[in-house]
Amino acid sequence: MPHTISRRSFIEATGALAATLTTTASATSPVQSTAAQLKGQPLPGGVRLPATPPRRKRDDSVGIAIIGLGGYALNQIMPRIDHAERMHIAALVSGNPAKLAQVGDAYGVPTDARYSYADFDRIVADDRIQAVYVILPTAFHADFTIRAFAAGKHVLCEKPMALSSTECEAMIAAGRRANRKLMIAYRCHFEPYNVEAMRLMREKAVGTIRLIRTDQSYRAGPTTPAQNWRFNRALAGGGPLEDYGIYGLQSALYLSGEMPESISAATFQPKGDPRFAEIFAHVATQLTFPSGAVAQLATSYDAAGANLAQVRGTDGTLIIDPATGYAGHRMRIEGRDARDFTPGDPTTQFAAQLNHFANAIRDDTPILTGGEMGLRDIRLIEAIYASAREGRTVKLAPDGRMRG
């Protein structure tokens, strides 16, 4: 049975993974959380389903199974798959049968290509599916990635890659064993403003980089860990850093072009606020790079909205504000060579990301945002929490592992 094989291979690959997860949770917070459980959800508000099912565009189009019909899948990704030349929706996986039927009908997905979480492993026998897109709460990323690889499918997995570096390593190993592609859905690498910013920084448009600042914050409404998975440690990890701050962390790395050699950080978990019973309200981090450049990253679920990336060099300052959203980016350089930039339509990032994955599968081309990048970031997040917990600067190896 594929299910048995994949579960066994998962456990073999991860060793005492359950124990590791418990340790990680208790290491980052004094509060223990309940175990993560798959649970179908209602159709999110504001979803506009297609009036007519989208059509497959090419013979060599990659058939993808969407796992998890939540807000991001239904509002952002599924409508954009129609814009991706080489991909089509081949199957759906959901824990809510009524929503599965409604969405399946709207997208023209055959009834025998609609799966529950329990019968997901049957995709091994479904040749219409070449790849899966994991769009579930973080706690389930590793399990479904490893099960998809066991079924011989390629995997596009949402950020953050997983709850721990142990899980990330198991996902990468499973992909290698299956000889299948693993991509982490870091869409900013395909978004015209961020791509242009990377090019400008490589060309030293602000001179030598000295200081980087990123800020990814919003103020969450009243909620509890039981009502919203993003506030539930077992499902989401430590909170805003994994969910939103990861964009600032990514920006600091791809704009500087460096890996940090040390990290110091502070976390804040206010008492008596149900939103933060299990997760942190904010995380502030300082990265020091080998060049001497320093990045200061702030992320919060309890501060007024911000989505900023700023790079201050010897000759000027690059400002992207907003920096990493779905649309509405603004970018300028202030200083010696001041100018504004409008490099393209940010909404093309979705189709560009999907086509990159499809091309990697069909043409065997390298993936820009592979599992190693996701693992690197989770290692850095673990180092951030270790620094905050232990009140010390953490030194890093070039691959992001903590030294000592």
Tell me the C-alpha distance between 43 and 114, whole Å. Answer: 16
Amino acid at 44: P
Beta carbons of 284 and 276 less than 8 angstroms apart: no
Residue among 115, 133, 229, 280 that touches ligand NAP (CB under 6 A)? 229
Quick one: which of 86, 88, 180, 187 contacts ligand NAP (CB under 6 A)? 187
- Whichever of 114 and 181 has its CB closer to ligand NAP, that residue is 114
Tell me the closest approach of the beta carbon of residue 39 to ligand NAP, in angstroms. 4
> How far apart (Å, rounded) are the C-alpha atoms in residues 279 and 213?
23
Is 72 near ligand NAP (CB under 6 A)? Answer: yes
Residue 286 found at the interface with ligand NAP (CB under 6 A):
no
- Element of type H or E holding 54: none
Nearer to ligand NAP, 229 or 231 (CB): 229
CA atoms of 235 and 246, how far apart (whole Å): 16
Among 22, 31, 40, 259, binds ligand NAP (CB under 6 A): 40
For the bound state, the minimum distance from the C-beta of residue 359 to ligand NAP, rounded and expressed in Å, comes to 19
| Residue 187, token pair as written in the block | 């869409």
327 binds ligand NAP (CB under 6 A): no
Q: How far is the CB of 139 from ligand NAP (least distance, A)?
A: 8
Query: Which residue type occupies 116?
Result: S
Q: How far is the CB of 294 from ligand NAP (least distance, A)?
A: 27
- Under the binding rule (CB under 6 A), the answer on residue 185 touching ligand NAP is yes
Q: Is residue 179 classed as helix, strand or coil in its secondary structure?
A: coil
Of the candidate residues 20, 22, 41, 102, the single one contacting ligand NAP (CB under 6 A): 41
Q: What minimum distance in Å lies between the beta carbon of 138 and ligand NAP?
A: 5
Residues numbered 353 to 372 that lie near ligand NAP (CB under 6 A) are none
Nearer to ligand NAP, 68 or 175 (CB): 68
136 binds ligand NAP (CB under 6 A): yes
Find, among 170, 169, 124, 161, the residue nearest to 13 by Cα. Answer: 170
Q: Does 135 bind ligand NAP (CB under 6 A)?
A: yes
Question: Of 53, 95, 343, 344, which lies in the binding site for ligand NAP, with binding defined by CB under 6 A?
Answer: 95
Choice between 262 and 347, CB closer to ligand NAP: 347
Lookup: tokens for 309: 């990336």
Nearest-CA neighbor of 68 among 59, 77, 81, 80? 77
Nearer to ligand NAP, 77 or 293 (CB): 77
SS3 for 109? coil
> Which residues are part of the catalytic machinery?
159, 247
CA distance 104 to 56: 15
Residue 270 or 328: the one with the smaller Cβ distance to ligand NAP is 328
Stretch of residues binding ligand NAP (CB under 6 A), selected from 63-71, 207-215, 251-259, 331-339: 63-71
What character string, x for contact with ligand NAP (CB under 6 A) and - otherwise, covers 98-127?
-x----------------------------
Query: Which residue is listed with tokens 């990697």?
Result: 360
DSSP assignment string, 351-387: HHHHHHHHHHHHH-PPPTTBHHHHHHHHHHHHHHHHH
**Rounded CA gap, 315 and 333, in Å?**
10
In the set 137, 313, 322, 346, which binds ligand NAP (CB under 6 A)? 137
d(CA 315, CA 238): 37
Other beta carbons within 10 angstroms of residue 44's beta carbon come to 14
Complex with ligand NAP: residue 223 or 262, whichever CB lies closer: 223
Kindly tell me which residue out of 13, 47, 64, 73 binds ligand NAP, with binding defined by CB under 6 A: 73
Residue 2 vs 71, nearer CB to ligand NAP: 71
Alpha-carbon distance values, 266 to 90, 245, 306, 378, 392 (Å): 44, 13, 19, 17, 10
Q: Tell me which of 44, 53, 335, 344 binds ligand NAP, using CB under 6 A.
A: 44
CA 387 to CA 391: how far, in whole Å? 6
End-to-end distance of the chain based on CA atoms, in angstroms?
43
Residues near ligand NAP (CB under 6 A), total: 27
CA gap 248, 302 in Å, rounded: 17
Task: Name the residues that contact ligand NAP, by CB under 6 A.
Answer: 37-41, 44, 68-73, 94-96, 99, 135-138, 158-159, 185, 187, 229, 235, 243
